[in-house]
Amino acid sequence: MAWAREDLPGWARRHRWFLGVLGLGTLLRLVTVLGYRPALWFPDSYTYVVTAMRPRPDLVRPAGYSMFLRLFEAFHSFGLVVTVQHLLGLLTGVMVYVTVLRRGGRAWAAVLACVPVLLDAYQIELEHLLVSDSLFTFLLVAAVCLAMRRPLTARASAALGLLLAAATLTRTIGLPLIAVFALFLLAYGMRRAGAAAESTAEAMAESKGTVRPGRVVAAIVLPFLVTALVPVAAYAGWFYAAHQRFGIIGSNGVFLYARTMSFADCAVMDPPADLAVLCDPRPPAARPVSQEYIWDAASPLVRLPGITFTKETDTLAGRFASLAIRSQPLEYLRTTLTELGRSFTPGRPVYPDADTYGYYRFPATVPPPPGRYPALVGKEFARRYEQGSLTVRIAEPLAGWMRGYQRVAWLPGAALLAVLLVPPAAWAARRMTAARREPGTPAPGGWLLGWTTAWALLLVPAATAQFDYRYTLPAVPLACLAAALAVTQSATHAARRAATQTATRAAAPVSEGRHEGA
C-alpha cells in the first residue's frame, strides 16, 4: 500500500492529459444529469419500457435494452438509468485509451482517440436519451478491445461471443458483426497456428509429433461461435413462441421496403398485382423520407389491413423490396451511397425531419407529450416504472450551459471521414516504404477489426433503412481507436527502421577494419 501511495502521483503525471479529459467529460455529464431530470425521451423509448414491464419480444426492436431497463426497475428511477448510461460512456472512453496504450500506442494518440466519445455533446445527449445506443456502443467497443488483447485465449474468445450476442440482442446490426468477428478470429487462429508450428518444428520432429493447425484454430473460433449464436438462437426461439415467426424481429421486410421507396419505380419493376398496391405514383424526388413509409398513415404499406408488422405484411413488403433491388440495382447502389455520404457532411443539416433531428439536441423548453398511439400506451407503463412524473424538468442555468456547449463541441461528419481514412493511408505509406527498403509486405495491424466494424455500422443502416445521426455515434470510438493504432504502428515501424539503419552504419567500420586486418 505504501508503494501504491508513492507511485500514485507518478501514475497521475503520466496520464494527466487523459485524466483531464476524463474529468471534463464527467463534469459535463454531471451538469446534464442535474440540468435535465429525470431523462430525455425518444419515440422508441416507450416501446422499450413496454417490453421491460411486460416481457415479450417486440416485432421491431430486440429486447436487450428493455432487459437493461428491467435491471433497474426496482429503483423506479429513469434518472438512475441515464446516469448508468453516462457511466458506460465514460467507461467506453477508458477502454479506448487503455487499449491504445496496451497495443504500444503513444499517450497523445490514446488521448485524442478517446476525446470524441468523452467530450462530444451529441454523444452526451444520446446517453441521456432512453434509447439503446449507449449500451450497444459500450458492448461493441468492449468486444473490439477484448479482441485486441494478446494472447487471445479460448476463454477470452467465449467472452467475446457473449458480448457480441448481447450487442445483437440490443440492436440487430450486431448480427452481421458476428460474421465479421468470426472471420477475424479465423485469421488470428491461422496465424497463431502457423507461428506455433514454426517455433516448435524441431521439438515436434524429435518426438515424431505433428502440429495440428485445425485444433489451434478451433480452440479460438468455436468458443466464440457457441457463445455468440446460442443466446441469439434462444432469443429466436422465444420470438417464435410469441409470434410464430422465425427471427429476432419481424420488421426486416418493412424497413427494407421503406428504404427502396427512395428509388423504386413500378414502371420499371412491373410488379404483380399483389405487390402493385405498395407502389407510390409520385416520382422519387417528390416522396417523403424513407421512415414515413413505415409510420405515416398515408403510406401504401400502412393503409393495408391490420398492423404494419404482421407476418403477411412484412413478407409482402420484403418481396416488393427484393423486386425493386433486382430491377434497379444501380439506383439502389446510388441511393445507398447517398445515405452513407450523409455521415460525412461538413455541417449538420436537418435530416430526416425536424422532429427526429430535434430529439438529438438539448431542449430549451419541456418536450411535448407523445402523440402516437404506441407511445401513449408506453407512457402508462413508464409511469408504473418511474412511479412519479415523467415530465422533463429543465434546470437553468445548467441546461443552458449544455445547449451552448452543444453548439460548438461535436465531431463533424467530414472529420469522421478523415479519421476513417487515416488507417489505410498509414498502412499504404508503410507498405510503400517497406517495398523500397525492406523485403516483404507489411500486413494491416490491429486497427483492421475496429476500422471494419466502424464502416459496417455506417454502411448497414444506409443499405437497409436510412441515415440517422444517432447511427453514426457508435462508429466514432471505433474509428478513433483504429486511427490511433494505425498511427502508432507506422511510428513504431519508422522507429525500428531508423534504429536498424543506425546499427548497420555503426557496425560497418568494424566489419571493414576486420577485413583489412585479415
DSSP per-residue letters across 326-351: HH-HHHHHHHHHHHHHGGG-SS----
Residue carrying C-alpha cell 429466436: 236
What is the C-alpha separation between 278 and 304, in angstroms, rounded? 9
Q: Are 467 and 351 in contact (CB under 8 A)?
A: yes
What is the C-alpha separation between 38 and 166, in angstroms, rounded? 26
**Which residues are CB-contacts of 50 (< 8 A; sequence separation ≥ 6)?**
58, 66, 374, 377, 378, 381
My answer on whether 475 and 396 are in the same domain is no
What is the pLDDT, as a whole number, of residue 307?
A: 80
* pLDDT classification of 431: cutoffs 50, 70, 90: confident
Cell numbers of 251, please? 420488421
Instruction: Please report whether residue 107 resides in a domain.
Output: yes
Better pLDDT: 90 or 210: 90
Instruction: Please report whether residue 456 resides in a domain.
Output: yes
Residue 124: HSE in the Cβ half-sphere, 13 Å Cα cutoff: 29
Average pLDDT over residues 484-499: 64
pTM: 0.90
Residue 442 has pLDDT above 50, yes or no: no
What is the C-alpha separation between 288 and 356, in angstroms, rounded? 14
* pLDDT classification of 208: cutoffs 50, 70, 90: very low
% of the chain surpassing 90 pLDDT: 71
What is the pLDDT, as a whole number, of residue 191?
A: 83
Q: Are 274 and 96 in contact (CB under 8 A)?
A: no
Cell numbers of 472, please? 453514426
What is the C-alpha separation between 178 and 172, in angstroms, rounded? 11
My answer on whether 486 and 427 are in the same domain is yes
Residue 419 has pLDDT above 90, yes or no: yes
* pLDDT classification of 437: cutoffs 50, 70, 90: low
* pLDDT classification of 438: cutoffs 50, 70, 90: low
Instruction: Please report whether residue 158 resides in a domain.
Output: no
Average pLDDT over residues 95-102: 95
Residue carrying C-alpha cell 427471427: 247
One-letter amino acid for residue 10 of the chain: G
Partners of 37 in the β-ladder: 393
Residue 199's Cβ-count burial label (10 Å; 0-12, 13-18, 19+) is: exposed
Q: Are 363 and 292 in contact (CB under 8 A)?
A: no
What is the pLDDT, as a whole number, of residue 7?
A: 83
Cell numbers of 253, please? 421486410
Using CA atoms of 122, 127, 132, 135 in order, give the dihedral in degrees to the nearest 10: 120
pLDDT in tens, 130-163: 999 999 999 999 999 999 988 889 999 999 999 9
pLDDT in tens, 326-335: 999 999 999 9
Q: Are 69 and 380 in contact (CB under 8 A)?
A: no
Better pLDDT: 12 or 145: 145
Instruction: Please report whether residue 233 resides in a domain.
Output: no
* pLDDT classification of 10: cutoffs 50, 70, 90: confident
Better pLDDT: 512 or 370: 370
* pLDDT classification of 40: cutoffs 50, 70, 90: very high
My answer on whether 392 and 420 are in the same domain is no
My answer on whether 123 and 65 are in the same domain is yes
My answer on whether 378 and 476 are in the same domain is no
What is the C-alpha separation between 263 and 335, in angstroms, rounded? 7
Task: Provide Rg for the chain, Cα atoms.
Answer: 26
What is the pLDDT, as a whole number, of residue 495?
A: 47
Instruction: Please report whether residue 202 resides in a domain.
Output: no
Nearest to 129 by CA among 94, 68, 91, 78: 78
What is the pLDDT, as a whole number, of residue 449?
A: 94
Which of 342, 375, 410 is a domain's end point?
410
Q: What is the 3-state secondary structure (H, E, C) of 122-159?
A: HHHHHHCECCCHHHHHHHHHHHHHHHCCCCCCHHHHHH
- Spell out the long-range contacts of 299-305 with Cβ–Cβ below 8 A and sequence spacing 24 or more: 301/254, 301/257, 301/258, 304/277
Residue 512 has pLDDT above 90, yes or no: no
**Which residues are CB-contacts of 410 (< 8 A; sequence separation ≥ 6)?**
120, 121, 122, 348
Within 10 Å of residue 299's Cβ, how many Cβ atoms? 20
My answer on whether 402 and 493 are in the same domain is no
My answer on whether 438 and 484 are in the same domain is yes
My answer on whether 385 and 474 are in the same domain is no
pLDDT in tens, 396-408: 999 999 999 999 9
pLDDT in tens, 232-254: 999 999 999 999 999 999 999 99
What is the pLDDT, as a whole number, of residue 194?
A: 73
Residue carrying C-alpha cell 452513407: 340
My answer on whether 488 and 453 are in the same domain is yes
Cell numbers of 369, please? 407529450
What is the C-alpha separation between 424 and 426, in angstroms, rounded? 5
Residue carrying C-alpha cell 457473449: 162
Q: What range defines the domain where residue 48 resides?
A: 17-129+363-410
My answer on whether 419 and 405 are in the same domain is no
What is the C-alpha separation between 345 and 353, in angstroms, rounded? 16
What is the C-alpha separation between 112 and 350, in angstroms, rounded? 28
Average pLDDT over residues 453-476: 95
What is the pLDDT, as a whole number, of residue 106?
A: 87
Residue 429's Cβ-count burial label (10 Å; 0-12, 13-18, 19+) is: middle
Residue 266's Cβ-count burial label (10 Å; 0-12, 13-18, 19+) is: middle
1-5, 168-172, 464-468: which has the minimum mean pLDDT? 1-5
Average pLDDT over residues 22-40: 97
* Total of domains in the chain: 2
Average pLDDT over residues 21-34: 98
Residue 55 has pLDDT above 50, yes or no: yes
Nearest to 102 by CA among 494, 485, 502: 485
Phi, psi values for residue 233, rounded to 5°: -65, -40
What is the C-alpha separation between 379 and 372, in angstroms, rounded? 11
Residue 373 has pLDDT above 70, yes or no: no
My answer on whether 367 and 425 are in the same domain is no
Instruction: Please report whether residue 232 resides in a domain.
Output: no
- Planar angle of CA 458, 471, 225, nearest 5 degrees: 65
Instruction: Please report whether residue 435 resides in a domain.
Output: yes
One-letter amino acid for residue 76 of the chain: H
Instruction: Please report whether residue 174 resides in a domain.
Output: no
CA 482 from centroid of its chain's CA atoms: 13
One-letter amino acid for residue 106 of the chain: R
My answer on whether 91 and 59 are in the same domain is yes
What is the C-alpha separation between 355 and 327, in angstroms, rounded? 33
What is the pLDDT, as a whole number, of residue 206?
A: 47
Q: Are 157 and 223 in contact (CB under 8 A)?
A: yes
154-163, 332-341, 482-491, 503-512: which has the minimum mean pLDDT? 503-512
Residue 384 has pLDDT above 50, yes or no: yes
4-18, 27-41, 93-107, 289-303: which has the minimum mean pLDDT? 4-18
What is the pLDDT, as a whole number, of residue 5?
A: 54
